[in-house]
Structure 1
Amino acid sequence: MSSLRASGVLLHPTSFPGRYGTGDLGLEAYQFIDFLAASGQQYWQVLPLGPTGYGNSPYMCYSALAGNPLLISLELLQDSGFLEDGDLWHVPEFSGDRVEFEKVVAYKMPLFHKACNTFKEKASEVQRTKFAGFCESKAYWLDDYALFMALKEAHGGASWYQWEPELVTRSPEALEQWGKRLNSEITFHKFLQFAFFSQWSQLKQYAGDRDIQIIGDIPIYVAHDSADVWANPKNFCLNKETYELDLMAGVPPDYFSSTGQLWGNPVYNWEHLQQTNFKWWVQRFEAMLDYVDVIRIDHFRGFESFWVVELDPEVKPEDRTAEKGEWVKAPGKEFFETLRDKVGKLPILAEDLGVMTPEVEELRDTFDFPGMKILQFAFGSDPGNPFLPFNFPRNCVVYTGTHDNDTTVGWYESREEWENEAILRFFGQISPEGIHWDLIRLAFSSVSNLAIIPLQDFFGFGTPARMNYPGKPTGNWEWRYWGGLITPELAERIKNLTQTFGRAPQPKGTPE
């Protein structure tokens, strides 16, 4: 990470406006990058970009390395010759401020199939060569992922550990037989990944040409029902007979939940991972660094120690909580040393929120990873609160809030009057611009090297624009903004603030 002062915007691509029900990697994405450049921003932070499953959470994907097909731009597929003009004439009436995921899937998937069939029939030699090269270079994860998705569809969406025993245990004969049977479906999923990564690479290049770096997000855990766990079961703590979970990841009671959070993910078999010299983890980081510039590690403390809950089979899944668990040590230092030996300098941000221990802080600081500071956590306690700006170290990233928080306006309006007294003592009074601009100004003026602001806060939106409610299984990740909201006037206002607090881009050649 650079030691120069800078700032950026947090926005997931699904939140872009557009005709097709969800944000994608087309025109609106390029216009957003133009907005970032015009407003003097140097970073764009996104949530995980993988193919989502139940609940549409980007933190619960079918693959840690694949891209989400819903982000593929239909218009760019058309530009590539894989769809015709008439294919995009009849678009359903989609919500302009929410992603209706099921409706989007129903609309886009038939068009993706048509694009794939057109590719098979009419792709140029250059396009075919690029596709073959992509499949070869990504084969170490793409082959398993494409087969996994094809098998999942063939089994009516059932989780992999509910398939036939020979598929659950990955019998080579069964995999070969099903691979031949599902050849067309496997090619389809490879085509979707080719389309996603082609479009993403072009967008990333466009951002890089405008000196915008992309911060990606690695969730420490992967979904149980994923190609990652199916293809690499020894990396995880699974029941040796059923491949179900006896142990589950989560966190104990905290700010977000009085009963803790039970995430549904398997925990790692770190002993086995160490024996492989962390091969799977290294490949995961290397793959991420192919398409982002910086990686935020979600739940960083899990690399030092992780919360494990032993599941009671007598308790219904909906009644389980994360209160009764234990912290188990993880070999984080050994892993990051191995990763550094493999990839060199580690452009990593550590999500170090929640209850941190001296050991977690030591792991973070040993590798000089910036931690996170959330201004919404700063008020209501004593002056020693680590989220108050005068307690910040320079090597950190400050946010008004994250995807897991309410918007700043929603947060302020939902607080009790006595709680807001602490804010008034700090600011003196709330400015006529609103609490969101007060916190944005506070973030930009802090000593933190990097300030990241959710786009909702620049708009001054309330709770309906919140992205996620931790612990709520459905109804999240749906917010979108209307076209026309990222105006030249807003860009100029942000640019002035960026320049005032020394976060504007430095002239070329300026030493760090």
Structure 2
Amino acid sequence: MVKLTRPKTKQKVKNMLKKRGAGVLLHISSMPSPYGVGVLDENTKHFIDRIADMGFTYWQVLPFNPTDSANSPYCSPSAFAGNYIYINPQGLKDMGLISDEEVSKNIYDGTPYTASYEYALEKRLATLKKAFLNVGEELAADIKQFEIDNPWLTDYAVFMAVKEQENFKPWWEWSSEHAHYFECIKKIYDYEESAAFWKFVQYIFYKQWAEIKKYANKKGVAVIGDMPIYVAMDSVDVWSNLPMFLIDEKTLKAEKVAGVPPDYFSEDGQLWGNPLYDWEAMKKDNYSWWVKRMKKSAELYDMLRIDHFRAFDTYWAIPFGHPTAEFGKWEQGPGMDLFNVIKS
């Protein structure tokens, strides 16, 4: 577990992290909600009230990243972006961006005891597009400042805008002018209008989450985040940082992919398929991508769990194209060198 508290964090939270305590793991999607899945609303605050009353001092969430078609945050288009499915429609109405009628279009009429991700994704996206049409000058200025404060946002917004234009194909199947980041980014103004929508979405997500986290901290509850160690091949992280991954820059195919070796649970091992980091290239760059990622996590959470943490020591590398993970081998990760840089 990595402590992420900054010097400016309130003393109350700093003191909590020094004490032994108990907590609850419950993701946003599992909160009670009329919207198909849980959102960042009063139900989430009620949950915080309840666990605080019971004496719990920690709340652990699962990854906030946008999900893939299988609703997995471990295969996300961005390691930095938040999932718009958790945006509270009522919060958009309170900002004067949508009407009561638009809020009601998000209400799910199925059973309240299960989640409907497909429904929630469809309705939330449509609602956000309606809300975006009502952005005024003051809000636009706030979004611009948010982009300045979060440099990752520009590439993410362009990536999503181009992905829409390319019929949501993976980036390596895009036209040559789009598939190569440095060629695509030269024409950034061609995507300005559609990219602006994705910047708006991230502003709203981070605004709503900041309010929830502030509420939790005031109640004496620290938030434990969850970070997937690897990123998806079809992500802005890979597309815009190709030299930092073990990927052939000519063929745009991964050289090696992630997984774990055979064990008592699986005779073939697990073939995850995520591209692997080029740790030598990252070291030469002073691990800047990881430093930025950890810095953003320090804003989102009070503590952080990194999934598959052991791969910072040694990791299982599987040559691309092999059908199972048994063909891989152990390779050396960055070890403490990475964490010494992050700490500094």
Q: Which TM-score applies when normalising by structure 1? A: 0.62
**How far off is 1:255 after superposition?**
5.4
Q: Which residue of 1 aligns with 2:343?
A: 340
In 1, Cα distance between the equivalents of 2:86 and 2:267?
35
RMSD value, Cα: 1.5
Matched, 1:76 2:86: no
**How far off is 1:185 after superposition?**
1.2
Q: Which residue of 2 aligns with 1:331?
A: 334
Matched, 1:146 2:146: no
Q: Deviations over 1:346-402 (max 9, x none)?
A: xxxxxxxxxxxxxxxxxxxxxxxxxxxxxxxxxxxxxxxxxxxxxxxxxxxxxxxxx
Q: Which residue of 2 aligns with 1:9?
A: 24
Q: Deviations over 1:118-167 (max 9, x none)?
A: 11xxx363x333222111111x2000000001111111110001111222
**How far off is 1:239 after superposition?**
2.1
Distance 1:57 1:78, change over 3 A: same
- Whichever residue aligns with residue 149 of structure 2, its letter is S
Matched, 1:117 2:157: no
Secondary structure at 1:265 match in 2: strand
- Whichever residue aligns with residue 202 of structure 2, its letter is Q
**How far off is 1:95 after superposition?**
3.6
Q: Deviations over 1:410-430 (max 9, x none)?
A: xxxxxxxxxxxxxxxxxxxxx
Q: Deviations over 1:244-283 (max 9, x none)?
A: 2231101112355332111120001000000011111111
**How far off is 1:180 after superposition?**
2.8
**How far off is 1:181 after superposition?**
3.1
Q: Which residue of 2 aligns with 1:94?
A: 110
Matched, 1:158 2:169: yes
- 1:360-379 paired onto structure 2 within 5 Å: none
**How far off is 1:17 after superposition?**
1.5
Q: Which TM-score applies when normalising by structure 2? A: 0.91
Q: Which residue of 1 aligns with 2:233?
A: 224
Counterpart contact for 2:242–2:249, Cα < 8 Å: no
Matched, 1:175 2:156: no
**How far off is 1:50 after superposition?**
0.7
Counterpart contact for 1:20–1:94, Cα < 8 Å: no
- 1:135-284 paired onto structure 2 within 5 Å: 135-138=147-150, 140-172=151-183, 174-177=184-187, 179-254=188-263, 256-284=265-293
In 2, Cα distance between the equivalents of 1:16 and 1:49?
14
Secondary structure at 1:56 match in 2: coil
In 1, Cα distance between the equivalents of 2:342 and 2:137?
39
The 10-residue stretch of structure 1 (194-203 or 330-339) with the greater mean CA deviation from structure 2: 330-339
Q: Which residue of 2 aligns with 1:286?
A: 295
Secondary structure at 1:9 match in 2: strand
Counterpart contact for 1:19–1:94, Cα < 8 Å: no
Unaligned runs of 5+ in 2: 4-16
In 1, Cα distance between the equivalents of 2:137 and 2:239?
35
Secondary structure at 2:168 match in 1: coil
**How far off is 1:16 after superposition?**
1.0
Q: Deviations over 1:221-253 (max 9, x none)?
A: 001100000010011001232212231101112
Q: Which residue of 1 aligns with 2:320?
A: 311
Counterpart contact for 2:258–2:271, Cα < 8 Å: yes
- 1:15-54 paired onto structure 2 within 5 Å: 15-54=30-69
**How far off is 1:92 after superposition?**
4.1
Q: Which residue of 1 aligns with 2:140?
A: 128
How many residue pairs match? The answer is 328
**How far off is 1:98 after superposition?**
2.5
- Whichever residue aligns with residue 54 of structure 1, its letter is S
In 2, Cα distance between the equivalents of 1:195 and 1:299?
30
Secondary structure at 2:67 match in 1: coil
- Structure 1 residue corresponding to 2:123, chosen from 107, 110, 123: 107
Distance 1:271 1:256, change over 3 A: same
Counterpart contact for 2:59–2:223, Cα < 8 Å: yes
In 1, Cα distance between the equivalents of 2:170 and 2:214?
37
Distance 1:292 1:107, change over 3 A: same
Q: Which residue of 1 aligns with 2:325?
A: 322
**How far off is 1:332 after superposition?**
1.5
**How far off is 1:43 after superposition?**
0.6
